[in-house]
Amino acid sequence: MRGMGSDNVWGADNQQERLSIGWVVGFVDGEGCFSCPIYRCDVMTLGWQVRPEFAVVQGASSKDVLEDLQRFFGCGRVFRNRRHDNHREDLFRYCVQRYGDLRDVVVPFFQEYPLKTSKRYNFERFVQVVELMSLRRHLSVEGIIEIAEIAQTMNHRKPSELLRILRDHTPALSQSGEDEMVRPLRRRREAGGNDQPRLI
Amino acid sequence: MRGMGSDNVWGADNQQERLSIGWVVGFVDGEGCFSCPIYRCDVMTLGWQVRPEFAVVQGASSKDVLEDLQRFFGCGRVFRNRRHDNHREDLFRYCVQRYGDLRDVVVPFFQEYPLKTSKRYNFERFVQVVELMSLRRHLSVEGIIEIAEIAQTMNHRKPSELLRILRDHTPALSQSGEDEMVRPLRRRREAGGNDQPRLI
């Protein structure tokens, strides 16, 4: 990311379309999405992975502005979106998923140049999750529960599947029916009762 | 509209939230809509009225940015939108419908500060319609047909009802079944065959 101090010249090289900071903030206020989905993931110790993401979706006819955004931020990628919905053209998606890029580029940018719509509240929750991850809280049971509780308040999301599974499988219930993915979570949760995150 | 020459200080008074030009262009690239619907209207000589409109819709939680836009442009109004769709909150709509405001404020602004997404092509057609109206072409049969042909290429619109009615009621067909609203149009169309607009 270049030219942070100016609203005039940003991102791309001379030959490329340049975006102003104001335009990027306005466009993301309209079309951007900050989300923190939590996926089941066998290779993670807890069986769940937090994957915060910043994304902007456009129809194929505006794919070029997504590439401009990619140059502007100097990170992220543009993908063809598998979903077509009712759109008459293919959808494309600029997204930043790499944790270091979110922490070092995307979050500082929107902290310096705040969103103006109610999307800023979503962004604030997104920052909370990114900060918890920088403390490695996503690797502990309490931490990932804290993250899931924040994430389910974002983007009118459905209640977190992780939280639902934890609630459904209370210690009073038989362990035999417990979801395999939740078992490592429960073991760690039951092993200690303090509020401190335990790094795994 | 104030402060046209600067990207820093715009629109609102000191106490109010200020919007930058860049933010407005980016936000309208994301959320704005330029449309030229043509409505049946008994009080118009032709029985049809062209009503170009610039609009931005947001959920209730972002109503304040619509009011900021209203202050920024110094025209237009914010309405509660009757449609709720699947949204969980009321929708609000900032829209500029007054022809003089579109011609003197909205069109010059986006000509000076162009949109970056494919929405700019829509805007170009919108400008064509506004210019045809400044020539009072919307008051002639040929003019309103020309406008309808432009309008139906905008916003993935359904084919124009006005054009459909004109096509369905060719001179070869019985006049008796003709739509009442189209009769004045046909009379004028059949009265002359040249391509010059006739101001009514």
Tens of pLDDT, residue by residue over A66-76, are 999 999 999 99
Of B26, B31, B118, the CB nearest to A25: B26
pLDDT grade, residue B168 (50/70/90)? low
- pLDDT value of position A84: 62
Of A24, A68, A116, the CB nearest to B65: A116
Q: What is the spatial distance between Cα A199 and Cα A62, in angstroms, rounded to a whole number?
A: 43
pLDDT grade, residue A166 (50/70/90)? low
* Chain A residues with CB-CB distance to B118 below 8 A: 59, 61-62
* Chain A residues with CB-CB distance to B24 below 8 A: 22, 26
CB contact under 8 A, B24 and A28: no
pTM across the whole model: 0.76
Distance to chain A for B27, nearest Cα, Å: 4
B interface with A, Cβ–Cβ < 8 A, is: 7-8, 17, 19-31, 58-59, 61-62, 65, 68, 88, 116-119, 156
Of B25, B31, B62, the CB nearest to A23: B25
In this prediction the ipTM stands at: 0.76
Of B8, B25, B156, the CB nearest to A26: B25
Q: Which of A120, A23, A2, A165 is nearest to A71 (CA)?
A: A2
- pLDDT value of position B72: 97
Q: Which of A107, A80, A85 is nearest to A96 (CA)?
A: A107
Q: Which residues are CB-contacts of A170 (< 8 A; sequence separation ≥ 6)?
A: none
* Chain B residues with CB-CB distance to A25 below 8 A: 22-23, 26
- pLDDT value of position B111: 97
Q: Are A19 and A10 in contact (CB under 8 A)?
A: yes
In B, minimum Cα distance to A115 occurs at: B23
> Which tokens belong to B121?
């092509």
Distance to chain A for B22, nearest Cα, Å: 4
Average pLDDT over residues A3-8: 40
- pLDDT value of position A4: 39
- pLDDT value of position B83: 62
Per-residue pLDDT tens for B135-161?
998 888 888 889 999 988 887 666 667
Higher-confidence position of A148 and A17? A148
Report for A50-64, A154-168, B32-46, B82-96: range of highest mean pLDDT: A50-64
Per-residue pLDDT tens for A91-101?
999 999 999 99
C-alpha distances out from residue B78 to B17, B58, B65, B96, Å:
16, 10, 10, 9
